[in-house]
Amino acid sequence: MQNLFVFILFSVFLISCKAGDCPPEMVEFRLDSKSFCIDRYENYIIGYDKNGKSYRYTPVFESVIKKDGKFLPGNIFNKSELKDKIYARAGKGMTPTDNISWMEAEIACKNSGKRLCKSEEWDFACMGTEKRKYPYGNEYAEDFCNSFESGKKRGVIGVLPSGTFGKCDNGKGVFDLSGNLWEWIDATDDSGSLKLIKGGGFSNSGYDEDTMTCGKKRFQPPDVRLSGAGFRCCKDR
């Protein structure tokens, strides 16, 4: 009886430990005595309509729209547009969602039980303890990630399926932290009105103002759908 009790306690312990692990599509990192999970790949978005049917959520990107006889910016997202619930998904070989706003990315992550990454989390996943300039090292390599240089060589400059570049890896199984798509981060500028994007995208050059490095920062309005902007989610461990 005593052995059975010990076995039950041990089983409960194993189950509780396993429950706290990162999901298979994520990698665990420990930063300042705390652990967090980060998606291995940049995310795509799945929506579910009122009948429960799933579909690939693709943001509508228009440079301008005509409303009440006036031309207005058309690449602005409004929460009232969302008729269905959207979820963030990450998988190798899946093309991540482009032209996404910070607001949409945040909603998709939260609906999936995750969140957008904090700046210090994203930086740590990209730089590592070695404080690398790029996720793969300190010297820019044209063929390692999806950038303007690699796109020009293959004759197509555009977003590619996640994990296409096997060398665009941080050494821990997290891909495309440099290039492919800029990634929205849960951080604001000093004014508190703009949101951070990092990592550079498919149209950026590795020879231009350190754009493709882990440390480069740019800030954009959270409701603007940006061409070349995507995201990945994080999760508390």
Beta bridge partner(s), residue 213: none
Answer with the residue of higher pLDDT: 50 or 60.
50
Q: What percent of the chain has pLDDT over 70?
A: 91
H/E element holding 144? Answer: none
Task: Look at residues 7, 16, 86 and name the one whose alpha carbon lies nearest to residue 54.
Answer: 86
Side chain identity, residue 44 = Y
Confidence of residue 7 (pLDDT cuts 50, 70, 90): very low
Work out the average pLDDT over 40-45. Answer: 98
- H-type alpha helices, the chain: 2-19, 102-111, 119-127, 148-154
| CB-count exposure of residue 102 (10 Å: 0-12, 13-18, 19+) | buried
Give the Cα separation of 25 and 16 in Å (integer). 19
pLDDT digits (tens, 9 = 90+) for 65-101: 777 777 767 789 989 989 999 999 999 999 999 999 9
* pLDDT score of 67: 73
DSSP letters for 41-102: S-EEEEEE-TTS-EEE------SEEEETTEEEES-B--GGG--SEEEEEE-TTPPPPPS--H
Say whether pLDDT at 4 is over 80. Answer: no
* pLDDT score of 66: 76
Give the Cα separation of 123 and 58 in Å (integer). 28
* pLDDT score of 71: 73
Task: Look at residues 219, 144, 140 and name the one whose alpha carbon lies nearest to residue 176.
Answer: 144
Work out the average pLDDT over 176-192. Answer: 97
First-to-last CA distance in the chain?
A: 35
Say whether pLDDT at 226 is over 70. Answer: yes
* pLDDT score of 196: 98
Q: Is the dihedral of CA 114, 40, 159, 182 positive or negative?
A: positive
Domains delineated in the chain: 27-236 (3.90.1580.10)
Which of 47-56, 61-70, 161-170 bottoms out in mean pLDDT, i.e. has the lowest? Answer: 61-70
In this prediction the pTM is 0.88
Task: Look at residues 47, 44, 168 and name the one whose alpha carbon lies nearest to residue 99.
Answer: 44
pLDDT digits (tens, 9 = 90+) for 106-155: 999 999 999 999 999 999 999 999 999 999 999 999 999 999 999 999 99
Give the Cα separation of 51 and 131 in Å (integer). 48
Answer with the residue of higher pLDDT: 33 or 175.
175
* pLDDT score of 60: 82
* pLDDT score of 17: 36
